[in-house]
Amino acid sequence: MIVEETELKGVVILKPDVYADERGYFFESYNKEKYNKYSIPSEFVQDNISKSKKNTVRGLHYQIGNFAQGKLCHVVYGKVLDVAVDLRNSSPTFGKYTAAELSDENHYQIWIPIGFAHGFAVLSNEAIFHYKCTQIYNKEHERALYYADKNLNINWKVIEPLVSEKDRNAMVFKDIGNNTFI
């Protein structure tokens, strides 16, 4: 497995060893021993799967307090642009983002630790997206950052994004106040 650090400390792209032949392919999507070497937790408490159409943007979501989540993300089918925004107040990259294309062809994963907002845009006709979480979902601790915030200037690589009402009405970066991480 190849692990690439991003410009945001703690966020890494994982490129697993994929064994392919005429039957298809095989790879380990998680191995506690290997992933712990890269500070990826050994305990996940919730797995989520979403299916989305082309041009869908989901995010930017995060949870605060005792329900803050780290996420290990990958694409089962299709292709997405996966985005993490640094919301750690004390970080030199506070307010910056990183993005990676994840697909069923490259099999890349992205580890997004606590302290980041997360979202993705579907670049293929449809995508099935899977992520493991270090904490259970809690609606009261959920927050959303506006995906099209001009201050973040994220290029989602989609035209006319399909976005939920919640995400269209999310807070802008300059208004997040205490809804961040230390």
**Is residue 33 within a helix (H) or strand (E), and if so which, with residue range?**
helix 32-36
Instruction: Look at residue 182 and tell me if it is in a domain.
Output: no
Instruction: Look at residue 181 and tell me if it is in a domain.
Output: no
Q: Which residues form the domain of 20?
A: 2-175
Active site residue 19: no
Instruction: Look at residue 113 and tell me if it is in a domain.
Output: yes
CATH number assigned to the domain comprising residue 134: 2.60.120.10
DSSP state, residue 152: T
CA distances, 88 to each of 77, 151, 153, 174, 180 (Å):
31, 16, 18, 14, 6
Instruction: Look at residue 159 and tell me if it is in a domain.
Output: yes
Instruction: Look at residue 127 and tell me if it is in a domain.
Output: yes
> What are the helix (H) ranges across 50-143?
none
Number of domains in the chain: 1
Q: Which pLDDT does position 179 carry in this prediction?
A: 78
Active site residue 131: yes
DSSP state, residue 135: S
Active-site entry in 35, 131, 146, 147: 131
Q: Is 177 in a helix, a strand, or coil?
A: coil
List per-residue pLDDT tens for the chain, 182 residues long.
Answer: 999 999 999 999 999 999 999 999 999 999 999 999 888 988 999 999 999 999 999 999 999 999 999 999 999 999 999 999 999 999 999 999 999 999 999 999 999 999 999 999 999 999 999 999 999 999 999 999 999 999 999 999 999 999 999 999 999 999 988 778 76
